[in-house]
């Protein structure tokens, strides 16, 4: 059996100038939703990527916090290959072992006996499922957070707290009230007996890696519980070990009596690069969907679920929770220790970090980093997001720490 790789496609052989050709073809063939691509990549291995011109990069963004085990990890390659060569798809009138095993595994990681999983294909779909579950409570009002991001489909967009993203597509499903993120008193005032659900990210990723203040999620649990509203935690970005615990809320919940949310949304890191999302519901929320309530053709696909199982296995086998904590701290402390005047601080947890800059030079810094062979993300004009593969080594973290001062020195503040 041969597996098609980049090398097997003659057009993609590393060759100077090919990136330019591919970029022109991209522009002619793909809708302009993302702007021109910054690079065309042909191969990845671990935390490294190679572009069509043969240049090597250290990947500190992992395809937007997706490639948990890095690129072409043998566990994922083997799991996907074995599954696809055995059984690739059957649809949801039937069941397969990988989807059942993955659901059981996720329930075990959440640590709740009364949880159930709904599989889909993306983060936005995981939140759509949560949105629909909330409607089945018999209530229709939702509280969401300013600056929050929950996806681009109409339902998830309605919950997204950035009016510039919502405005062109209104009217969106109601009835959504936005509260300032991290403000317990505002939450207290917004939630009442008519609230179906409160949805929140433990760390607002797209907003610029803004962690919820300590105690906020616990207060949200207490307030929603008191009013019979669901607590939906969007862990699409923070889940699957990214911050050093399996799910971000667990770091706080364990210190406050081990509370649980009602719904957890997952995607990004779960499939190690394969598209998969999941909504995990607990208790009564797990019983609200009944046959016909919701569905998907691809959700729970055995190949995607086999990849998910491989990712969870790899995280456990190689103690990546420990690695995330160690390497996350090394990056966090290492950046602060640079004591560079252009730096204002570091936010985040584990391997989801934002390097805060004194000036709005993040796009220029990301560009300079890319040209020097480092992939980072200008998540806001004034912050660079790092979300590398969870397998990042100390030596790779140090490579970035060594180059960062030089990159910062190249920038003229305010030039962007
Ligand atoms: C990325 C993201 C989403 C959307 O996920 P998609 O797979 O792009 O649909 C939703 N919520 C959060 C917190 C995210 O980071």
Tell me the CA–centroid distance for residue 7 and ligand 1, in Å.
Answer: 31
Residue 1 predicted with pLDDT over 60: no
Tell me the CA–centroid distance for residue 410 and ligand 1, in Å.
Answer: 33
Q: Which mutation among 150, 156, 269 tests ligand 1's pocket best, with the greatest number of atoms within 8 A of CB?
A: 150
Question: Across all residues in the chain, what is the average pLDDT?
Answer: 95
| pLDDT of 411 | 85
For residue 325, give every residue at least 6 positions away whose Cβ sits within 8 Å of its Cβ, in sequence order, or none: 244, 350
Residue 414 predicted with pLDDT over 70: no
Which residue's structure tokens are 């800059």? 357
Residue 42 predicted with pLDDT over 90: yes
Residue 402 predicted with pLDDT over 70: yes
Alpha-carbon distances, residue 224 vs 117, 263, 336, 416 (angstroms)? 22, 12, 37, 43
| CB-neighbour burial class of residue 6 (10 A; exposed 0-12, middle 13-18, buried 19+) | middle
Model confidence, pTM = 0.95
Please count the residues of the chain.
Answer: 416
Estimate the crossing angle of helix 302-317 against helix 74-84, to 10 degrees.
Answer: 150
Tell me the CA–centroid distance for residue 356 and ligand 1, in Å.
Answer: 22
| pLDDT of 412 | 63
Dihedral class, residue 149 (left if φ above 0, else alpha if ψ from -120 to 50, else beta): beta
Atom in ligand 1 nearest the alpha carbon of residue 127: 10
What residues line ligand 1, using a CB cutoff of 6 Å?
122-124, 127, 149-151, 201, 205-206, 234, 236-237, 267-268
| pLDDT of 74 | 98
Task: Give the pLDDT band of residue 2 (cuts 50, 70, 90).
Answer: very low
Q: What is the pLDDT of residues 335-385, one digit of tens each?
A: 999 999 999 999 999 999 999 999 999 999 999 999 999 999 999 999 999
For residue 361, give every residue at least 6 positions away whose Cβ sits within 8 Å of its Cβ, in sequence order, or none: 342, 381, 382, 411, 413, 414, 415, 416
204 is written with which tokens?
């607002």
Atom in ligand 1 nearest the alpha carbon of residue 201: 13
Q: What is the pLDDT of residues 124-150, one digit of tens each?
A: 999 999 999 999 999 999 999 999 999
């Amino acid at each position: 059996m041969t597996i098609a790789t980049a090398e097997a496609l003659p057009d993609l052989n590393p060759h100077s100038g090919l990136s330019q050709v591919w970029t022109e073809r991209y522009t002619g063939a793909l809708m302009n939703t993302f702007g021109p691509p910054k690079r065309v990549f042909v191969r990845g291995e671990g935390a490294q990527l190679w572009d069509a011109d043969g240049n090597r990069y250290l990947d500190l963004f992992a395809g937007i916090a997706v490639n948990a085990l890095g690129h072409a990890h043998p566990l994922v390659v083997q799991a996907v290959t074995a599954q696809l060569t055995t059984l690739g798809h059957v649809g949801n009138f039937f069941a397969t072992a990988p989807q059942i095993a993955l659901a059981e595994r996720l329930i075990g990681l959440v640590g709740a006996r009364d949880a159930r999983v709904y599989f889909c294909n993306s983060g936005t779909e995981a939140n759509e499922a949560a949105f629909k579950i909330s409607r089945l409570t018999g209530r229709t009002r939702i509280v969401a957070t300013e600056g929050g991001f929950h996806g681009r489909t109409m339902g998830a967009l309605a919950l997204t707290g950035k009016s510039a993203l919502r405005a062109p597509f209104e009217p969106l499903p109601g009835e959504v009230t936005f509260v300032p993120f991290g403000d317990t008193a505002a939450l207290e005032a917004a939630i009442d007996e008519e609230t179906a659900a409160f949805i929140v990210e433990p760390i607002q990723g797209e907003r610029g890696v803004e962690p919820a203040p300590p105690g906020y999620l616990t207060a949200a649990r207490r307030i929603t519980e008191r009013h019979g509203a669901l607590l939906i935690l969007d862990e699409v970005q923070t889940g699957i070990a990214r911050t050093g615990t399996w799910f971000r809320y667990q770091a706080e919940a364990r210190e406050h009596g081990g509370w649980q949310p009602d719904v957890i949304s997952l995607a990004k890191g779960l499939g190690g690069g394969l598209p998969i999302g999941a909504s995990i519901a607990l208790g009564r929320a797990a019983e609200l969907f009944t046959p016909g309530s919701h569905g998907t053709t691809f959700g729970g696909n055995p190949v995607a679920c086999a990849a998910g199982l491989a990712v969870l296995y790899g995280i456990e086998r190689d103690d990546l929770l420990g690695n995330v904590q160690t390497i996350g701290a090394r990056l966090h402390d290492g950046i602060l220790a640079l004591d560079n005047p252009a730096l204002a601080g570091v936010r985040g947890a584990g391997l989801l970090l934002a390097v805060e800059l004194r000036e709005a030079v993040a796009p220029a810094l990301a560009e300079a980093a890319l040209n020097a062979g480092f992939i980072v993300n200008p998540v806001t004009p004034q912050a660079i997001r790092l979300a590398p593969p969870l397998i990042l080594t100390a030596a790779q973290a140090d490579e970035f720490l060594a180059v960062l001062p030089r990159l910062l020195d190249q920038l003229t503040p305010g030039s962007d």
